Amino acid sequence: MPARARANGEGSIYAYRNGFAAYVWVTKPDGKRTRKYVYGPTRDAVHDKWIKLHQQAKAGPVVTRVPTLGGYLDSWLRDVVEPNLAPATAANYDMFVRLYIAPELGARRLDKLTVREVQTWLNRLRAACQCCLQGKDAARPEGKRKCCAVGRCCQRAVSERTARDAWTTLRAALNNAVRDELLTRNPAALLRVAKPRPRKTRPWSVDEVRQFLESARAEGDPLYAAYVLILVLGLRRGEVLGLRWEDVDLATGELAVAYQLQRIRRQLLHRETKTESSDATLPLPAICSTALRSRREDQQRHRDHAKRAWQDTGLVFTTRLGTPVEPRNFHREFKTRCRKAGVREISVHTTRRTCASLLVALDVHPRVTMQILRHSQIAVTMNIYSEATSAATEKALKRLGEQFDT
């Protein structure tokens, strides 16, 4: 069969190996001009690709070399996430990429990733035993292997929350690839992923809070003042452990929330709070001032006893040698105190909900509660909008403190 005559402008289509090839002059995202090639088994197949490439070149910049998804995720974490996001957020993104995304999809070329492949990956992630996929059991010493490595799969799949967070991480990375003009659309964004319902823990009642604090105070718990601050002022764990004496003014009865202490990637970081809305200056109810004065006296006794071994960090809550309190140790001590006090065991984070519920029980206005807890949106506290003055805030905190000041 005679070869089909070339149409006008098809001079760049030519025989190549066992098929045909063609090229189009394109402009890359960096502004440079270069040839981009397409290949196929027949002239017609290459001609169709050639036409599409021409259309892309007219529409805007064209990428000539596309990385694998794994390669792109590495550069995204390094160049976009690490410099611009909070360390805790960056560590979470890195964890989701390393454990859940890259092992399954990392070898796929970025521009070849399809919606179906993302859906298949997400379905598999929900159902697969992570102990098997990640080799957790095989990594244990031989005498301690108990499931996958010995043929008894534990079927430990991820939670719906973890699966959604992994998908959210992939979607964020591919959104950045669209901005980088490596993709024309985000295949992960086209999925519909249900948002799991959060598990709700009933916060403590006023009586439970009183019982907990009285137990800590009666036994001289060194973290008693910290417990007071998280329950009465709604401070987060990192905020109370990152509190400095220079941020506490007992003379005027005020406390400034500006720093937090976090353990991230085996490093203990004392850094600014996550968002600007988290920063605030709060009035100290009497119970808080009393507890902080007692804490200062205890710390001074520890300093005198430690002598040269003392490390002056300037933090309010420290060990007997002045070093910061490990966040996980604080969590364990809180759980231990719950058991000693004989109250329901809740997480440290739930104490903020306890504080909020106590404020509501005291008929504190929702906007005042929002100011005390430093929520960024009123919807997080209540769906009510109004104004609140600092005087109202101080009055509310004093009323709350009086409930515990026995």
The string of DSSP letters for 210-258 reads: HHHHHHHHHTT-TTHHHHHHHHHS---HHHHHT-BGGGEETTTTEEEE-
Q: If you average pLDDT over residues 113-126, what whole number do you get?
A: 94
Q: What are phi and psi of 306, to 5 degrees?
A: -75, -30
Give CA–CA dist 85/79, Å, rounded.
11
> Considering the entire predicted model, what is its pTM?
0.72
Beta bridge partners, 14, equal: 21
Identity at 374, one-letter amino acid code: R
| Average predicted confidence (pLDDT) for the chain | 84
pLDDT digits (tens, 9 = 90+) for 81-114: 999 998 989 999 999 999 999 999 999 999 899 9
Identify which of 59, 54, 63, 61 has the alpha carbon closest to the alpha carbon of residue 7: 54
Name 14's Cβ contacts closer than 8 Å, sequence gap at least 6.
20, 21, 22
Q: Identify the residue with better confidence: 353 or 77.
A: 77
Q: What pLDDT does residue 110 have?
A: 93
Sign of CA dihedral 147, 151, 152, 157: positive
Per-residue pLDDT band for 383 (boundaries 50, 70, 90) equals very low
Question: Over pLDDT 70: what percentage of the chain?
Answer: 84
What are the start and end residues of each CATH 1.10.150.130 domain in the chain?
Answer: 69-190
Highest mean pLDDT among 91-105, 146-160, 278-292, 382-396: 91-105
DSSP letter (8 states) at residue 315: B
- Tell how far CA 30 is from the center of its chain: 33
Identify which of 95, 351, 370 has the alpha carbon closest to the alpha carbon of residue 239: 351
Q: If you average pLDDT over residues 239-250, what whole number do you get?
A: 94
Q: What are phi and psi of 11, to 5 degrees?
A: -65, -15
Class of domain 206-404: mainly alpha
H or E stretch at 24 = strand 19-27
Give CA–CA dist 46/345, Å, rounded.
67
Give CA–CA dist 73/94, Å, rounded.
9
What are the start and end residues of each CATH 1.10.443.10 domain in the chain?
Answer: 206-404
Give CA–CA dist 368/374, Å, rounded.
10
CATH no., domain 69-190 = 1.10.150.130
pLDDT digits (tens, 9 = 90+) for 14-49: 888 888 999 888 887 778 888 888 888 999 898 988
Per-residue pLDDT band for 254 (boundaries 50, 70, 90) equals confident
Q: What pLDDT does residue 396 have?
A: 65
Identity at 332, one-letter amino acid code: R
Q: Following DSSP, what letter does each residue of 40-85 receive, concatenated?
A: ESSHHHHHHHHHHHHHHHHHS---S---BHHHHHHHHIIIIIHHHS
